Structure 1
Amino acid sequence: MKPHPKAPALSVDRLAIALPPGADRPYAVDRVSFDLIPGEILCIVGESGSGKSMSANAAMGLLPETVRPVGGRILMAGEDILTFDEARMRALRGRGIAMIFQEPMTALNPLMRVEDQICEMFEAHGLLSPKERRARALDLLAEVGLPDPARAARAYPFQLSGGQRQRVMIAMALALEPKVLIADEPTTALDVTTQAQILRLVRDLQERRGMAVMFITHDFGVVAEIADKVLVMEKGRVVEEGTAADVLNRPQHPYTRKLIAAIPGMGAGRARRAERETILAVEGLTKTYRSGGGFLSPPRVVQAVQGVSFSLARGETLGIVGESGSGKSSVGRCLVRLQDPDGGRVLLGGADMAHLKGEALRQARRRVQMVFQDPYASLNPRIKVGRAIADGPIAYGANPRAALKEAEALLERVGLDASAAGRFPHEFSGGQRQRIGIARALALKPEIIVADEAVSALDVSIQAQVLELLAELKRELDLSLVFITHDLRVAAEICDRVMVMRKGAVVEIGTGAEIFGQPREDYTRGLIAAIPGRPTAVAA
C-alpha cells in the first residue's frame, strides 16, 4: 500500500512469531508489515492458521506461552510494544488498544453484572469516582445501541442475547477511548440481521471517534460491507493487500481468488427436484421452555416452537433459517429427540418419534442422526476418534473389531486418513473435526441427518469443502438432510426447499427459487437484505 498522509495509530513492521518445535511450519507470522490509520478499517482475511489472530494477539500482549515474537516491531506513539513489560501492557490495554473477541460469553465474567464489568475497566486504571463510573457505563451501553441500558446494566451475561452480549463487549472496548480497536471475528456466530447491526455499529463508532480499526474475519461478505483496506494472509504471510475495491473486484493472488470463489452464492436458489416419497412429516410441533421462578417471582416461559409443520422427502435437503431465538435449533433437537416436544407429531415411516419410548425410540434414533455446530464440544476429548465413531454401532450390537474397521473406512470416506482413528479430537483442525462429526453420524447408516449450524464456525474455503462433502454423501447414500443455518447464502447454495422461522413459528416455506427469488413476507425480505455485501457490490 502507498504511504498514507495520516500518521499510523499502530505500525506492524516485519513481525515474526515463532511456533514451537514440531509445528507444521516455523513461523505463525512471517515478516508481516501493515499500518493502522486513524479513521480507517483494515480487514485482515485468511483461513484458520493464516496468522491473522496471532498478529492481533501480539499487539495486545496476549500471545500463548508456546509462541513468541522473534523479530520485527509493533510501534505505537514511537514505542515498540513488544518491549513492554506486563505492567506497561496492562496500562496500554483498554486505553491505547482495545479488543472485541469472537465469543463474548467466554470473554465476559458470568458471575458479574454487566455494569460492574464495565466499571471494573475504570477502576483498574484508577479513573472516575464510583458514581461517575456507573453513569459512564450507562452512557456506553446507550451508545452501542442497547434498547434499555439500565436493564442491560443490571443483567448477567447469560440473560442477554448473543447480539446484546457483543454490544456489551464493544461498550467495554470503547470505555477508555482507545486509539486502536481490534475486532477478532466479532460477528461469526451471529445471525444475519444481528451481524448487519453489529457491522453498522462498528462502522458508525469508528467514524464518530476516528479510531483505527483492525477487523479480523474469514468472511469476504463482511469485508465488502465494512473494509477500507484489505490484507490477505496465508500460512503466516501477507499474499495480497490493497483497497477493498481492488482486492475484492480485482484480486491478484490465486489464494485470494480461491477464497472469493468459495463464497456461497445468492442466486435464485436450487430448482425444485422431482417429487419423491415423504420420509418425515412434522405436524403441529410445539416446545416451551420454563426457567427460574421462586417464591415471589413466576417462572420465565419461552414458547420456542409454536405449531410447526413441514415434510421432508427422501433425498431432499430442507433448510431451516432464521435469527437467533427463532426456534430452528429447537426443532432440530426435537426431531432427534434430544429434547421431548410438548405437542405435535414427528412421523417417521408411520411411527411417531415424538411419543416413542424405550426400545422403540432407541431403534428409531438410528434412522435420524445429528451433526452439531461445535464437534469439539460433542466429541469426548479423552476418547480416540475411531472409538468415538464406532461406539454407536457397538451400542447397537456390532462387533467392536468390525465397528472400528468400519470407522476407519468412514474416516477415509469423509476425506481423512484411516490412521486418524488413533488420534484424539484436539489433534485435528475445526474442519477436520467436523468431518469426524459427519463420519460419526453416518456410522449408524441413518436415513436423515440433521445438521445444526454445521459449517457456521468454519473458514469459507473449509466451509465449501464440508458442504461439497455433504452433497456427495447425500447423492451416494440417498440421504435426506435437514440443514439448520443462520447463513442464507449457504441455504441458497445447497437447499432444495427452505423454511423461514421467526419466534418459534414458520413464516414461509418454499423452494430456494421462491424464497430467495420471490420472498412473500417482509421478514424474509429483511433477512435477505441484511446479508453482508458480496465482492461485486464494492464500488471501484
Structure 2
Amino acid sequence: MTILQIRNLSIALPKGADRPHAVEDVSLELAAGEILCIVGESGSGKSMSANALMGLLPEGVRPVKGSITYQGRDLLQADEGDLRALRGRDIGMIFQEPLSALNPLMRIGAQIAEVFEAHRLLTPVARQSRALELLHEVGLPDPKKAIRAYPFQLSGGQRQRVMIAMALALEPKVLIADEPTTALDVTTQAQILKLIEDLRRKRNMAVIFITHDFGVVADIADRVIVMQHGRIVEEGPARDVLLHARHPYTQKLIAAIPGPGGEAKDDKQGAPAILRVRGLNKIYKTGGGLFSSPRVVHAVNDMTFDLHTGETIGIVGESGSGKSTAGRCLVRLVAPDSGRVEMAGVDMASLSGADLRANRRRIQMIFQDPYSSLNPRSTIGRILTEGPVSYGTPRAEALARARELLELVGLDASAVTRYPHEFSGGQRQRVGIARALALQPDIIIADEAVSALDVSIQAQVLDLLADLKRQLNLSMLFITHDLRVAAQVCDRIIVMKQGRVVEMGSADTVLTAPEHDYTRALLEAIPGRDYERALKDATGVPACQS
C-alpha cells in the first residue's frame, strides 16, 4: 500500500546558484514497510527532496511545481501548524550529524522528552520513563547513564542512536534517514543499519534512506532511486540496479566503490626507514573528584612500527581505537607520555621549542574536515602561504608556490583569491592537501581524509594522493575506519583496538587472510559484502573494477 507519493516535484534555487532547480520533475512512491534508498553525490538533490517532505527547505529555496501527498494530504499546501503537528508524529527524521543536531546544553533525557512536550503528550514523569524505554530499544549500552549525559559525553554511534530514538519517539509511519552512517566506523555503521532494519520490521515503518554508499544500499534497500543534478536517472529493485545498472552515472558511482580485498603492491620494506616509532604511549585521565578516582584511558599503548621511504601504512580501527591520537602524537599536536618518534635520527617526541618547530615541517597532516580546519576568514592564498612565510620564505615566492600547489592538486591557480566557503567539500580537501604539501614534508599523515566525501570524489582524492606520493616520493600514514579505502591505497596495515596494535602486515595479507578476531570482525562489518560476492559471481569482476 502506497503511504507517500511525490509527483513532478521541482524546487527552485535562488538566483545566482549553479543551476535553476535543486530538484526537477521528481516523482516517487513509498509503500508501507518499504526501505527506499535515494543515492547520489552532494548536490544531486536527494537531501533537498527529504527536506521538502518535512517542510524544512532553506530560506530562498521553494517548491515551484508538483505535489507531495501523504495519506491524502498535499504537504506542499499545508500551513506551518499542520507541518509542525506532522513532524515526528507521522514523519520522523534522522539527520546526518547528530552532534550539530543535538542541543549541547541539554541532557539526552530532556531532549527526548521535549519531543513529547512539543506535541503536548504524556506527563513529565511519563516522558522521562518513555525516553528511557526508547534508549533501551535503540541499543544504548547503559540507558540510565545515557539519559543523564550531555551529547559530548557520548560516542558518535551512541549520539546517532539518540537521534534515532528521538525520531521514533512518536512512532511515525515514515522515517527519513539522511546519511545517518556516513562518518561512522564500519562496526557502528553495521549496528545502526541493523537497528533501522529491525525497527522497520517491528513497526512496519516505511523508510527513505539517503546515502552515497552503494554498500549500504546493498545491505538494506528494497528499491533504489539514483539522482544526478536534481533529476532521477535510474530506479528499480535494489538487486537489479546494483547488478545491472543501466545509466552511465550509476555505473560510475558503483565503479568508484573501493574493493574490499587488498591488492599486491611493491614491497617498500627494503627501503630505508624514514620514521621509527618505538614504545609510543599516550594516557588520558578524565573525571574524578573528592570521592572518586579519575578514569584512566590508555589511548595509545606501546605502539611500535617503522615507516619506509615511499611507503603508505594504513592505521585502521573503530572510533576510540587510538588511531587518530597516534597520528597527532607523531606530528606533535599531542605530546606523548613516553616512547620515541625518530626521523633522521632525531627523536621528535623529546623535542620542544625551536628544535621542535625546525623539525616539525618534515611531517604534516591532512585533517578529516577541511571546512573546520581551514580559516573561513582567510583566502586560500593566505592559508597556503602562512606556513612557508613563518619559516622565512619570502611572501611572493610562497604565493607563487601556492599557485603551483593548487594546480598540482587539480584546482585553478586563481583560487588563491577565494575563500573556503566558495568550494565544495572535495575541493576544500584538495586545498587541505595543498596546505600539507606547502612545507615540502617527507611524511604526510592523512587523518580520515576522505571519510565524509562522496564515493566518486573520494576516488578522485585517493588517486590524487597516490599521484602526489609518486611525484614527490612521499611517505604516508593513512588513518581510516574504512577498510575498503585502506585496501586501495596502503602497502601495509596496522590494526588498532583500544590503543593497542593487534595486527600488522601487508595490506593483501591483513585484508584477505586476517589473523586476529577483531580484524575479521571489521572486515565482516563492511557494508555490501554480500553484494560484492554476488557481483563477482554474476560478472567475474569485483565491484571496484566493473
TM-score for both structures, normalised by structure 2: 0.96
CA distance in 1, matches of 2:234, 2:213: 16
2:42 equivalent in structure 1: 48
8 Å CA contact retained: 2:262, 2:488: no
Matched, 1:187 2:181: yes
Aligned counterpart in structure 2 of residue 478 of structure 1, from 469, 473, 477: 473
Aligned counterpart in structure 2 of residue 492 of structure 1, from 487, 491, 501: 487
CA distance in 2, matches of 1:538, 1:214: 24
1:3 equivalent in structure 2: none
The residue type equivalent to 2:398 in the other structure is: A
2:128 equivalent in structure 1: 134
1:71 equivalent in structure 2: 65
Question: Secondary structure of 1:154's match?
Answer: coil
CA distance in 2, matches of 1:270, 1:67: 49
1:33 equivalent in structure 2: 27
Aligned counterpart in structure 1 of residue 496 of structure 2, from 501, 514, 521: 501
Aligned counterpart in structure 1 of residue 344 of structure 2, from 346, 349, 367: 349
8 Å CA contact retained: 2:183, 2:452: yes
Aligned counterpart in structure 1 of residue 432 of structure 2, from 411, 416, 437: 437
The residue type equivalent to 1:215 in the other structure is: F
Aligned counterpart in structure 1 of residue 143 of structure 2, from 145, 149, 167: 149
CA distance in 1, matches of 2:414, 2:285: 46
Q: CA deviation at 1:303?
A: 1.2
Question: Secondary structure of 2:495's match?
Answer: strand
Q: CA deviation at 1:442?
A: 0.4
% identical equivalent positions? 67
Q: CA deviation at 1:272?
A: 4.5
8 Å CA contact retained: 1:138, 1:150: yes
CA distance in 2, matches of 1:510, 1:60: 49
Question: Secondary structure of 1:281's match?
Answer: strand
Question: Secondary structure of 2:218's match?
Answer: helix
2:96 equivalent in structure 1: 102
CA distance in 1, matches of 2:77, 2:303: 59
Q: CA deviation at 1:66?
A: 2.3
CA distance in 2, matches of 1:260, 1:411: 29
Aligned counterpart in structure 2 of residue 459 of structure 1, from 438, 454, 461: 454
8 Å CA contact retained: 2:10, 2:24: yes
Q: CA deviation at 1:366?
A: 0.7
CA distance in 2, matches of 1:60, 1:11: 14
CA distance in 1, matches of 2:135, 2:400: 56
The residue type equivalent to 1:174 in the other structure is: L
CA distance in 2, matches of 1:292, 1:268: 41
Matched, 1:360 2:355: yes
The residue type equivalent to 2:14 in the other structure is: P
Aligned length: 534
Q: Deviations over 1:197-237 (max 9, x none)?
A: 00000001011101110000001100001100000000000
CA distance in 2, matches of 1:105, 1:23: 29
The residue type equivalent to 2:468 in the other structure is: L
CA distance in 2, matches of 1:211, 1:272: 50
1:215 equivalent in structure 2: 209
1:80 equivalent in structure 2: 74
Question: Secondary structure of 1:9's match?
Answer: strand
Question: Secondary structure of 1:24's match?
Answer: coil
Matched, 1:249 2:243: yes
Question: Secondary structure of 1:63's match?
Answer: coil
Q: CA deviation at 1:296?
A: 3.4
Q: Which runs of 5+ in 1 are unaligned?
A: 1-5
Question: Secondary structure of 2:5's match?
Answer: strand
The residue type equivalent to 1:439 in the other structure is: A
CA distance in 2, matches of 1:365, 1:125: 56
Q: CA RMSD in A?
A: 1.2
Q: CA deviation at 1:288?
A: 1.1
The residue type equivalent to 2:378 in the other structure is: I
Q: CA deviation at 1:270?
A: 3.4
Aligned counterpart in structure 1 of residue 199 of structure 2, from 205, 212, 217: 205
Q: Deviations over 1:310-359 (max 9, x none)?
A: 11000000000000000000000001100000010100110000111112
TM-score for both structures, normalised by structure 1: 0.97
2:520 equivalent in structure 1: 525
Aligned counterpart in structure 2 of residue 287 of structure 1, from 282, 287, 292: 282
8 Å CA contact retained: 2:331, 2:360: yes
8 Å CA contact retained: 2:278, 2:304: yes
Q: Which runs of 5+ in 2 are unaligned?
A: 539-546
The residue type equivalent to 1:433 in the other structure is: R
Question: Secondary structure of 2:479's match?
Answer: strand
Moved over 4 A (4+): 537-540
CA distance in 1, matches of 2:430, 2:482: 20
Report the more deviating stretch, 159-168 or 324-333.
Answer: 159-168
